[in-house]
Amino acid sequence: MAYTNTRNLRIEWGDCDPAGIIFYPNYFRFFDHSIEMLFEAALGITKYEMFRTLEFAGWPLLKTQARFLKPTRFGDDCLIASTITFGRTSFEVSHAITLKGETCVEANEKRVWTVRGEGGQLKSHPVPDTVLAKFG
Q: What pTM was computed for the model? A: 0.93
Per-residue model confidence as pLDDT tens digits over 110-135: 999 999 999 999 999 999 999 999 99
Give the rounded distance of the alpha carbon of 125 from its chain centre. Answer: 19
Look up residue 132 and give its DSSP letter.
H
Report the mean per-residue pLDDT for the chain. 96
8: part of which helix (H) or strand (E)?
strand 2-10
| Cβ-contact 31, 9 below 8 angstroms | no
Give the rounded distance of the alpha carbon of 102 from its chain centre. Answer: 20
The residues of the chain scoring below 50 in pLDDT are none
- SS3 of residue 110 by DSSP: strand
Q: What pLDDT is recorded for position 128?
A: 97
- Find all residues with CB under 8 Å of 119, minimum gap 6, and list them: none
Domains, the chain: 2-134 (3.10.129.10)
